[in-house]
Structure formats: structure tokens, C-alpha cells
Amino acid sequence: MTVTDARSGQPIRKGRLGRVGYSIACLGWRGALAELAKRPDSPETDAEFDAMHGTNTAGSVEPADLGIRDADTVRKAIRYLPSPLRVTSWMLNEIGVDPARCSFVDIGCGKGRVLLVAAERPFRHIAGVEISTELADIARLNTQRYRPASSRVGAIAVSNSDARDFEMPSGDLLIHMYHPFDPAISAAVFARLATSADARPRRVSVAYLTYTHSVPAVAEMFSAIGWLRLVRYEESISGRYNWLFYDGSTPG
Ligand SMILES: C[S@@+](CC[C@H](N)C(=O)[O-])C[C@H]1O[C@@H](n2cnc3c(N)ncnc32)[C@H](O)[C@@H]1O
């Protein structure tokens, strides 16, 4: 059965062929075959990125261990898990956004792996927001340890706060989210963005990575935001690396 996005009519389920094609393009033949064999690589134990760059981004942290004080925010948080390098690189190549014209923001940036990957491109500003003080500190340390030290890594700004309290950089934005929390929190984040201090209408592109079982709730939340529209959906064989791309202009 084809499920479609309420506003754009875009399909948000993929046939098997589409999933295989995307998995090969995004994860490579080895990664796609591992998914087909139901033995997908595990991002929490993937030490390759850290071995290459002298950083600490692997591992996972459960919501109860993120140091969040408010019980409802803990319930709505998703555990820390780093994005695989290949998955982030695929998105940056495919999203169709000119980095020189916008700022990159990772909402729920964890230990900052995605920020480090984005820093290889000429974004105006690169910012992350992370609720866990421990993870935000690790992300900042990673920007100092990253090698080879790209000139842009020093430009990364990591804020330690709840995403609902974060003021986005001004101007056009590419927002990355790896299913950081319940869609109710995302709704508040985008409502704040629509009425932010930067009153001019600005282009906002969103790259949202998530698992198949959370896609309907995430798509429903986005379809309620009148100024964002689903422009692309990709689904991996295992359903672990699904991308929802949205695009639009803030009401201003
Ligand atoms: C799945 S991890 C993604 C990490 C990183 N974006 C990446 O792709 O490698 C989700 C992150 O969201 C953070 N998070 C959860 N609730 C949050 C909130 N209310 N505000 C900010 N960050 C939050 C978690 O601590 C965790 O680090």
C-alpha cells in the first residue's frame, strides 16, 4: 500500500526496488548487502570515524542518562546515537542546498559528528544544540580534536540547551535532525522558528533521518506546519536510515 503525505501527496512508503537503490547509493554495496542479510552495521559500535579523526563520537546514551531534569522532557527524548558518516554525506550531496547561502543546524547534535562532517562544506555558520551537558562538552572537545583540522571546524558553535529554547542563526537554514525527540517537541521548535527575531521570510530546508516506525508521526507533525512541504522521501532496506526532506519559507 502506498502511504502519502497529507499536504504534498508525496509517497512516504517505498517499494523494495526503491529501498534497495537508495541503500546502495547511501550505504554502499557492503552496507546494502549487510542490510539485506539483516546484519546492518551498528552506529554505536562503529569506531571508524573516531579512529580516522581522533574524536569521540561513537556509543549510545539512553534518555535517562542524558542528565535532563524535567521528567516529561526525558520521556520525549530519544537516546544518543551518532549518524553514520556515509548517511550524512549522502544527505549533504543530495539535499540540493547551496552551503554558501545558508547556515547548517543540527538539532540534538549529541557528540557533534554531523557538525564535523558539515564543516567540510562552506556553510555560513554551523551550529548544534544539545540538551545533555556532557554530550555538548564532548561535541566541543571533538571540534578541537578533529583531524585533519579543517579551517571550518573552529567555526562550529555548540549550545547546551533544550531545542525549544534555542535561537536559530539568522538567514536561510539547512536543519538536520536524527529523530532527536517526540514530534510534539519538534512542533514547538518549528513554531518558534516561524516567529523568530529574524522576521524576514527565509528559506528553510529540513533533512530528517528516522526509522520506519516513527515516520507516520513525524510526517503528520510536519504536514501540520503550513509553510514546509515534503519534497523527498527515501527508505533503507532495514528501515533504519529513512530520510524525509522538507523545504519552504518561513511566513515572515
Ligand atoms: C539520535 S541522537 C542524534 C545525534 C546527532 N544529531 C547525530 O545525528 O549524530 C539525538 C540527540 O538528541 C538529543 N536531544 C533529546 N532531546 C533533546 C531536546 N529536548 N533538546 C535538545 N537535544 C535533545 C539527545 O540527547 C541526543 O543526543
Considering the domain boundaries, does residue 101 fall inside one?
yes
Q: Quote the pLDDT of residue 3.
A: 58
* Shortest-distance Cα residue to atom 23 of ligand 1: 108
Q: Report DSSP letters for 89-112, one per residue.
A: HHHHHHS---GGGSEEEEES-TTS
Ligand 1, residue 109: give the atom nearest the CA: 6
Q: Quote the pLDDT of residue 37.
A: 85
Q: Quote the pLDDT of residue 148.
A: 85
- Centre of ligand 1 to C-alpha 96, Å, is 24
Considering the domain boundaries, does residue 2 fall inside one?
no
Q: How many domains does the chain have?
A: 1
Considering the domain boundaries, does residue 195 fall inside one?
yes
Q: Quick one: which of 126, 241, 108, 56 has its CA closest to 117?
A: 126
> How does pLDDT run along the chain (252 residues), one tens digit per residue?
445 777 777 777 788 889 999 999 999 998 888 888 887 777 666 788 999 999 999 999 999 999 999 999 999 999 999 999 999 999 999 999 999 999 999 999 999 999 999 999 999 999 999 999 999 999 999 999 999 877 788 889 999 999 999 999 999 999 999 999 999 999 999 999 998 876 688 999 999 999 999 999 999 999 999 899 999 999 999 999 999 999 999 987
Q: How far is CA 133 from the centre of its chain?
A: 19
Considering the domain boundaries, does residue 71 fall inside one?
yes
Q: Quote the pLDDT of residue 1.
A: 41
- Centre of ligand 1 to C-alpha 181, Å, is 7
- Centre of ligand 1 to C-alpha 22, Å, is 25
- 66 close to ligand 1 (CB < 6 Angstrom): yes
Considering the domain boundaries, does residue 1 fall inside one?
no
Between the CA of residue 144 and those of 147, 150, 157, 159, what are the distances in Å? 9, 10, 12, 16
- 182 close to ligand 1 (CB < 6 Angstrom): no
- CATH code of the domain covering residue 206: 3.40.50.150
**130, 174, 211: residue to mutate for ligand 1 pocket, most atoms within 8 A of CB:** 130
Considering the domain boundaries, does residue 54 fall inside one?
yes
Instruction: Return the axis-axis angle of helices 183-194 and 215-223, rounded to nearest 10°.
Output: 20
Q: Which residues of 53-77 are buried (b: 16+ CB within 10 A; e: fewer)?
A: bebebbbebebeebebeeeebbebb
Considering the domain boundaries, does residue 9 fall inside one?
no
CA dihedral 242, 25, 100, 161 (to 10 degrees): 30
Reported pTM: 0.95
The range of the structural domain enclosing residue 81 comes to 16-249
- Centre of ligand 1 to C-alpha 173, Å, is 18
- 214 close to ligand 1 (CB < 6 Angstrom): no
- Centre of ligand 1 to C-alpha 70, Å, is 15
Rounded to whole angstroms, how far apart are CA atoms 7 and 242?
A: 19
Ligand 1, residue 209: give the atom nearest the CA: 8
